[in-house]
Amino acid sequence: MNNFLDNIPKLRVSSWVEDGMDWLTDTFSGLFKLIQSGGKNMMDGITDGLLFIPPILFILIIAVLAFFVTGRKFGLALFSLIGLLFIYNQGLWDELMNTFTLVLFSSIIAIILGIPIGILMSKSTAVENIVKPILDFMQTMPGFVYLIPAVAFFGIGVVPGVFASVIFALPPTVRFTNLGIRQVPKDLIEAADSYGSTGAQKLVKVELPIAKSTIMAGINQTVLLSLSMVVIASMIGAPGLGREVLSALQRAQVGNGFVAGLSLVIFAIIVDRLTQSFNKQNR
């Protein structure tokens, strides 16, 4: 049996993948360079705009937003105030704004792509059967692997970091959108049909509003997954708190690594609670 298996020719999967990557980079090099330069300039502009806002004003805005979003409760507002002041006190404000930009772009792109794909999946079982294995692949593949095509396409910097983050963070929005629309009660769909609603009208006026809570839960997971890629993205030149964690790891600086990691935790908690509160308000 072993001899039989040994006689089977080895599949040249790695060579096929490399040949495909070479073809893509050669064929679409101009497009990739345009995306790289345009994306970098756009993200740098947003980061510069955020840094132009006085830190204390930005912190107060987030605290006030947290207060009203959570139903005039002081818990998240106080945590946001103290947490962001701590990050500023540690000299990591610029890194926080870079991280904010990276997470913002990654999340927006993933949501823009994910919701339409989820809608298509909910409307077609065939599309669902095709997309589901792809989503499984995207979720189970280690995040470090996504850095390889990101660097091949866009080089080093923040844009490949966004590319890798989008791939890693996209599946929850797709899955939850599909789930939310499929869970809309059939009697409501039948009622909409009885009134002569078109497919677009049913989607916009019935299915999406009812599925909004589930879709928002998927968006929340997408944002957190984008944030979880910050450290990995720093390995290919993405700026932010992830770079501080990576630098501390390389230099065995336990204190600096702890502070940068704690800053990421604070930021993640604020983002998570805010998105959850928005979901509760919509519900």
Q: Is the pLDDT of residue 2 over 60?
A: no
Rounded CA-CA distance 228/27 in Å is: 32
Task: Identify the residue whose tokens are 């049996």.
Answer: 1
CATH class of the 15-52+90-282 domain in this structure: mainly alpha
Residue 173's pLDDT is: 92
**For 92-106, 126-140, 149-163, 206-220, which range has the lowest pLDDT when averaged over its residues?**
149-163
pTM: 0.85
- Name the more confident of 51 and 9: 51
Instruction: Choose the weakest-confidence range: 164-168, 207-211, 214-218, 274-278.
Output: 274-278
Cα distances from 181 to residues 31, 130, 237, 269, in angstroms, run 35, 18, 39, 28
Domain boundaries, the chain: 15-52+90-282
Quick: pLDDT tens for 49-86: 888 889 999 999 999 988 888 877 878 889 999 999 99
Between residues 12 and 68, the one the model is more confident about: 68
Long-range Cβ contact pairs of 256-265 (< 8 A, separation 24 or more): 259/90, 259/92, 260/92, 260/95, 262/86, 263/86, 263/87, 263/90, 263/92, 263/95, 263/96, 264/99, 264/227, 264/230, 264/231
Per residue in 86-114, is it b (16+ CB within 10 Å) or e — as a string? ebbebebbebbbbbbbbbbbbbebbbeeb
Q: Token pair 């006085």 is at which residue?
A: 54
Is residue 1 over pLDDT 60?
no
pLDDT digits (tens, 9 = 90+) for 194-206: 877 777 888 888 8
Q: What is the mean pLDDT of the chain?
A: 84
Are 223 and 270 in contact by the 8 Å Cβ rule? The answer is no
